[in-house]
Amino acid sequence: MIQTKIISFIFLIPTLVINYITLTYLDHNNNLSVFSTSIIFLFNFINISFCVSILFFGFKKSLIFILYCFFILILCDVTFEKFFNKNQTITGDRNLGWILKSNINLKLEDKTSENKKYMINYKTSRVEGFREYGLTDVDREKKILVIGDSFSNAQFASNESMFYSKIEEIFKERNLYHEWFVGGAGGYGSLQQYILLKKHLKDIDPSIVILQFCSNDFENNSFNLESKTIIRSQKFRRPYLINNVITKDNSFVAKIYRILSNYSYVFNVSDMIISNMEYRKYGGYYKENVTKLDIQESIQVTKEILYKFKNLLKPDTKVYSINCSIDNKEKKIAWLDITKNLGIIALPQPNEKLKIAERNGLDIWQRDRGHLNNLGNQIYGEAIAVEILKDLNKN
């Protein structure tokens, strides 16, 4: 009996040590994140339960029982992840962090911001990372590449209703026929778009590139800024450009997170719940104050990434940049300055058209008010087509 108590106490030591370190060093100001608190609580619960079990049933029986329970839980967890997330449109990727799945065909029902229902026929191409992937064995003058994030590639409107489809339709009315390639994924920053472009540039070799840019790309491009957020699903998986080197967060926590997020249903659901709790706690996505220096750093790294992006392309490639939303004056000026200096043609007018449509009472947004529904995409696409044709006709 004494031996059992000693073994039980030995297994209790990690709990005591972790709690001491947490209370003394990590949480000395009572500001530990909800995520970290939950992980420590879960460890304490499992470890203390194991220690109590040793006292009542002995070490061997307790060890066999807990290993059996873990095996069943892991088996169920992995199975649930595959079953419940079968309609998930992205999957893990070693280089990009995550990537758009190929050959998806989903029929979904959604609502506009004014609670009106509409149907979505969402498809992805035969090539991973692309919503549309045209024919490659044609002249490069016949190829257009659109690359962006959720504004271009998430499931908020049918493929045929997307802004790029509207551009294609208008071009065809003017006897301009192209093969269209639409790449990217929800949450992508400029570096992920650069990596995707680099991988497929030889096959696509476009004469026109439409780079979709949002204000949150400045945050997505900065490791410093994203480290201050609660969005672990991006900051632990996304590659960053640091000192001109492409790298990831290689901390122990980040590595474990990447493994669990790829295979564990319980982990992903728990992480989502904790993120929602943290969002309410901090009143937004940032858990720390953002300084002017942070913003300047994000602008600088964005400039470096877009320089790499532009330099991948042939000198005669027309590159347009469209913005989904940049209401922050400093960020908008930065986007306009960066694109101008790189010879990228910025098109702020289409986003202004969306603002006018919204002021006129048109229902242009999906229910999250951050992405366009069918009508919004139509207005956006028409405005983009007008600006691109205007520029092409000058030459």
Task: Check which CATH number belongs to the domain holding 278 and give it.
Answer: 3.40.50.1110
Distance CA 128, CA 148 (A): 15
Range of the domain at 357: 90-394
Strand-strand pairing, 245-247 and 105-111: unpaired
> Does 130 lie in the same domain as 56?
no
In degrees and rounded to multiples of 5, residue 91 shows phi and psi of -140, 165
- Residues in CB range of 84: below 8 A, 6 or more apart: 265
Which of these ranges, 8-12, 174-178, 304-308, has the smallest mean pLDDT?
8-12
Nearest to residue 168, comparing CAs of 189, 197, 142, 196? 142
pLDDT average, residue stretch 257-266 = 82
Shared-domain flag, residues 293 and 150: yes
Residues 284 and 156 in one domain: yes
Q: Are residues 186 and 312 in the same domain?
A: yes
Confidence at residue 261, expressed as pLDDT on a 0 to 100 scale: 84
**CA Rg, the chain, in Å?**
25
Same domain for 99 and 210, yes or no, is: yes
Last residue of a domain, one of 43, 61, 84: 84
Q: What's the structural domain count of the chain?
A: 2
pLDDT of residue 265: 76
> What is the rounded CA–CA span in Å between residue 165 and residue 132?
10
Say which residue, 82 or 313, is predicted with more confidence. 313
Last residue of some domain: 62, 84, 106?
84
In a shared domain, residues 117 and 242: yes
**What are the backbone angles phi and psi of residue 185, rounded to the nearest 5°?**
-165, 160
Q: What does each C-alpha distance from 180 to 88, 112, 174 come to in angstroms?
A: 24, 27, 16
β-pair partners for 321 = 211, 346
**Mean predicted confidence (pLDDT) in 28-56:** 66
Same domain (yes/no): 74, 157: no
Mean pLDDT of the region 304-325: 95
Are residues 333 and 351 both part of a single domain? yes
Whether the predicted pLDDT of 2 surpasses 80:
no
Asked if residue 66 and residue 180 are part of one domain, the reply reads no
Phi, psi at 121, each rounded to 5°:
-110, 95
Instruction: Give the end of a domain, one of 65, 84, 103.
Output: 84
Cα angle: 34, vertex 267, 189; to 5 degrees: 80
Identify the DSSP state of 101: P
Q: Are 310 and 339 within one domain?
A: yes
Judged by DSSP in three states, 245 sits in strand
Low-confidence winner among 38-42, 165-169, 225-229, 382-386 (lowest mean pLDDT): 38-42
> Based on the domain organization, do 262 and 324 belong to the same domain?
yes
Residue 157, classified by CB atoms within 10 Å of its CB into exposed (0-12), middle (13-18) or buried (19+), is buried
**Do 114 and 251 sit in the same domain of this protein?**
yes
Q: Is the pLDDT of residue 236 over 70?
A: yes
